[in-house]
Amino acid sequence: MAQSVLLTGAAGRVGQAVLGDLADEHEWRLMDRDPPTDDHPGEFVVGDVTDEKTVREAMEGIDVVIHLAGDPRPEAPWDSVLTNNIDGTQTVLEAAANAGVEKVAFASSNHAVGAYETEDRTPEMYQPHDDYLLDGTELPRPGNLYGVSKAAGESLGRYYHDEHGLSVVCVRIGNLTQGHPPIDYERGQAMWLSYRDCAHLFDRCIRAEYDYEIVYGISDNDRKYYSIDRAREVLGYEPRDNSAHHDDDPSA
């Protein structure tokens, strides 16, 4: 059954991966601060997620929110991540709760746990023989202020689930690239997420039933230091791609 989905940050890389495979699967309302430059499914709302009135209006009649909007730069300064990522996420969650939205999928990031990659673990943790694994039960450990903002978004999701009953899934997205994964970059291969696996994962966030979850968004790579078991169990995520087999689908 098609769901009515609000996709914030629709013009970004993750948004384009999602829409590339799912444009005809759901009833979309897209939101971005810049107007569209090409064809798009559904309605397009030009606005910023820090604008409470625009977000409230965009939320009307929506079943599920995929919240991608924010400053995506790992080196983003505090004033930007505070405004765009933390305040913006709170604005979206508050509007979703007030509008009776059922589910919110929040785009978290590998940067929320980046500081687990310590000198005594790397580069071995990026290689197939190493058994170090993060599974989503560990505490956040950001490696930059962008990661701090994503950890804050996860905590906001937990609050809005507990206080307002929103179903919230936080997806710690790995290394999303279109086409081949980085061949000579072990870390990038270990956390690689193909475009079609990204679309499939967020489709499962739309369709599955859950309470509050933190899952990792990577493909089924031979070496992964993020577990995708929880995404499989709770969401029904079944990735098709593997960075070790990248020649199988060069367009993935």
CATH code of residue 183: 3.40.50.720
Structure tokens at 196: 């079609």
Question: Is pLDDT of 250 > 60?
Answer: no
Q: What is the pLDDT of residue 248?
A: 47
The residue ranking higher by pLDDT, 147 or 40, is 147
What is the chain's percent helix, strand, coil content, to nearest 5?
40, 20, 40
Nearest-5° angle of CA 34, CA 79, CA 155? 90
* 166: three-class secondary structure by DSSP: coil
CA–CA gap between residue 209 and residue 151 (Å, rounded): 23
Phi and psi at 23, nearest 5°, equal: -55, -35
Ordered alpha helix ranges (H), 37-144: 52-58, 78-80, 88-99
- pTM of the complete model: 0.95
Single out the residue of 160, 194, 188, 146 nearest to residue 92, CA to CA.
160
Q: What is the pLDDT of residue 125?
A: 92
Q: What is the pLDDT of residue 182?
A: 76
Domain that holds residue 175: 4-248
**Using the 8-state DSSP alphabet, how is residue 85 labeled?**
I
pLDDT band at 3 (very low <50, low <70, confident <90, very high): confident
What average pLDDT does this structure show over 145-158?
98
Nearest-5° angle of CA 74, CA 238, CA 236? 95
Q: What is the pLDDT of residue 71?
A: 97
What average pLDDT does this structure show over 227-240?
98
In the chain, the number of structural domains is: 1
What average pLDDT does this structure show over 152-181?
96
Catalytic residue ranges: 146
